Chain A
Amino acid sequence: MQKAQNKLAIMACHSKISKFVYPGPGKPLDIRQVDGQYEVFTLVEKTVKQNLMKILTTETSTVYTESLLAGTIAMALCYIARILRTKTPGLKINSRILTVTGSGDSASQYMNYMNVFFTAQKQNVVIDVCALDQHLSLLQQGCDITNGLYLRIPQIQGLLQYLLWVFLPEPPVRQKLVLPPPVKVDYRAACFCHRELIDVGYVCSVCLSIFCKFSPICTTCHTVFKIPGPLTVKSKKKKIKL
């Protein structure tokens, strides 16, 4: 709300559901000015409270600790794509997605994460991540790919401070601010067989699946490989367990 032209959308998600809480489904709430407060603030606050309450009270079964964040970001990207399609021609819009989460980011959503990161990169959407609990290595890659900011906050009490100082400024303004120094991102690959990070691995030339050991058949695309030719002969020095 730094500028009246800025637009905000808020989504909530856990392991079972992803929903827009602002603007919510249906008509906007009927808001009257309260105590001279800027009406938009009141509208956002009321709508978010109401919709969050709905989400939290309707889910009765157990919710797992890992949220389906990649899918939520996918929805956000579709929303932004619509805004970009329907904007006045010539109008420049800087769009970004700020993810605030205490969830983990296991490799089970790897493909969806990568798809949303590359899409955001293509659409010039910046992805910022504010990690409240554990370190999120996949989301950190997403920030790096989209030129966003990744920050794992040291203590939850400081959340508001961090949101205001680190995440409120627009990406173009950030260059002028003193922000936490960029960390080097670990881009090692996880093998498809054990989901373990590896330095050297074997990649299927047909589908690019990654394996930590040589095997005669690709488990992803079922290609049967020729016995290593002259190109891969060097790898024979390593023991091959069959």
Chain B
Amino acid sequence: MADDEDPKEYRWETGYEKTWEAIKEDDDGFLEASVAEIIQRAKRKRQQNKQVNSKLGMMRHLYVVLDCSDAMSAQDLKPTRLLCTLKILENFIEEFFDQNPISQMGIIIMHNKRAERICDLGGNFRKYIKTVNGLTKTALIGEPSLQNGLELALKSLKLLPSHASREILVIMGSLTTCDPSDINKTISMLKHEGVRCSVVGLAAEVHVCRQLANETGVDPPPAAVCLESSLIKMGFPHQMIVEGTEEPLTMCMCHVDSTEEGSKLTTGGYYCPQCYSKYCELPVECRSCGLTLVSAPHLARSYHHLFPAASYREIEFDNQSLNCFACQKIFSEADKQVYLCSNCQQYFCLDCDIFVHDILHTCPGCATNPTTFQMFQSQM
């Protein structure tokens, strides 16, 4: 997992050589505006160097095991280790589902020597972001138990078919772990099951974490090998609606052998088009016939990797346009540069350049111009 996180993210400084020379006070004597500008430039640079994930169609199953012990209240990361971690985790979740749209994630927290699963494996990234936001109020108590955290994740990952890719990401703030028995047994079990573990340590390196990562992380996740450039058969379930009839109460396959709350009978759900098993959430691999079940927007979330928005060229501002084509901001003296779309020939501001290429992935100029729009269509 560690290799998924952009190391540059943590080496902000690399983009800021001699930044102090660029920092100027604005008219009111504030530094903020120019600092913001430097950050924007760095963003733009990062965006241009962005690498495209070459394999989007992998179904990964990842458990994030998060330390919520007393050690997370330390303030060496601002404002606290926990809050800082949650903020980054939120970005990580978004990025994870963006690059692995048909994957599943689960979240486990460790505190007071116990492990608690707060999110089952699933693919609804909104739910995870909400859960992570809710964690800001978690009581940070006692010591973590790495072993309990790993065991709980393993228990759930074990239920998956053996060819599925299974991973655990541990985020540890504590330097100690309080385990009920020999953690080495757990580590060798994880290795045996082919679960790849990675650890992010917020404090100094902990020996057992290094060992865990070394022993389980050598081979790439098994599914990465199996799924190499293949055409995968997938099902796109639609909800079954028979006009005028009440849907029967049925049990979904995801909760059939779970004793947790919420495993009640429900109406509605997604039915496997091949064998009619019911699931309450997508994406999922059908437990009875093995078909991967997804919804079309799950896949569409990643299509921007295939069809990126046209890139913009940085040009000295010389009253080429009155305002930014997209956000309507009036260009002024302060805009030293404007950004020209090579495709639709419209001018944009720096903020929109970043917004379009980072988040939107559709050039508003191209998408509202019948000529460029058709050009784009023929590329597809």
Q: Shortest Cβ distance from A9 into chain B, in angstroms?
A: 8
Q: Name B326's contact: one of A23, A75, A184, A215 (CB within 8 Å).
A: A75
Q: Shortest Cβ distance from B115 into chain A, in angstroms?
A: 31
Contact with B along A191-209 (1 / 0, CB 8 A): 0100000111111111111
B235 in the interface (beta carbon within 8 A): yes
B227 lies within 8 A of A186 (CB): no
A203 to B229, CA, bound (A): 10
A199 lies within 8 A of B238 (CB): yes
A187 to B235, CA, bound (A): 11
Residues on B with C-beta less than 8 A from A114 are 297, 300-301, 303
Contact with B along A115-126 (1 / 0, CB 8 A): 111110111000
B136 in the interface (beta carbon within 8 A): no
A190 to B230, CA, bound (A): 20
If A119-B359, A203-B57, A208-B303 touch, does A235 touch B233 (CB 8 Å cutoff)?
yes
Interface size on A, residues (CB 8 A): 74
Contact with A along B236-278 (1 / 0, CB 8 A): 1111010000000000000000000000000010000110000
Q: Which of A68, A71, A119, A220 has the most CB of B within 10 A?
A: A71
Contact with B along A63-86 (1 / 0, CB 8 A): 000001011101101110110010
Q: Which of B274, B303, B360 has the most CB of A within 10 A?
A: B360
B343 in the interface (beta carbon within 8 A): no
A72 lies within 8 A of B368 (CB): yes
Look across to chain B and name the residue whose beta carbon is closest to the beta carbon of A108.
B377
* Stretch of B142-150, B201-209, B350-358 with 4 or more beta carbons under 8 angstroms from chain A: B350-358
Q: Name A203's contact: one of B231, B329, B364 (CB within 8 Å).
A: B231
* Stretch of B6-14, B173-181, B182-190, B288-296 with 4 or more beta carbons under 8 angstroms from chain A: B288-296
Q: Name A225's contact: one of B230, B236, B274 (CB within 8 Å).
A: B230
Q: Which of B268, B289, B329, B355 has the most CB of A within 10 A?
A: B355
A203 to B377, CA, bound (A): 20
B232 lies within 8 A of A203 (CB): yes
Q: Shortest Cβ distance from A146 into chain B, in angstroms?
A: 11
A25 lies within 8 A of B323 (CB): yes
A150 to B380, CA, bound (A): 29
Main SS at interface, chain B: loop
B322 in the interface (beta carbon within 8 A): yes
A224 in the interface (beta carbon within 8 A): yes
A94 to B373, CA, bound (A): 31
A residues 16-39 near B (Cβ < 8 Å) are: 16-18, 20, 23, 25-26
B43 in the interface (beta carbon within 8 A): no
B306 in the interface (beta carbon within 8 A): yes
B364 lies within 8 A of A214 (CB): no
If A81-B355, A108-B377, A224-B229 touch, does A75 touch B368 (CB 8 Å cutoff)?
yes
Q: Name B231's contact: one of A20, A118, A145, A225 (CB within 8 Å).
A: A225
- Chain B residues at the A interface, C-beta cutoff of 8 Å: 54-58, 94, 101, 126, 163, 226-239, 241, 268, 273-274, 289-291, 294-297, 299-307, 322-329, 351-352, 355-356, 359-364, 366-370, 373, 377, 380
Other A-B contacts than A81-B327, A204-B231, A206-B229, 12 sampled, CB-CB below 8 A, are A13-B368, A68-B367, A74-B367, A78-B355, A82-B327, A114-B297, A121-B126, A199-B238, A200-B273, A203-B231, A203-B294, A208-B101
Question: Closest 3 A-B residue pairs measured CB to CB?
Answer: A71-B367, A71-B368, A205-B57
Q: Could you list 14 A-B pairs, sorted by A, with CB under 8 Å?
A: A68-B373, A71-B364, A74-B364, A111-B307, A114-B301, A115-B304, A123-B359, A200-B274, A206-B56, A207-B305, A209-B306, A210-B296, A218-B231, A232-B231
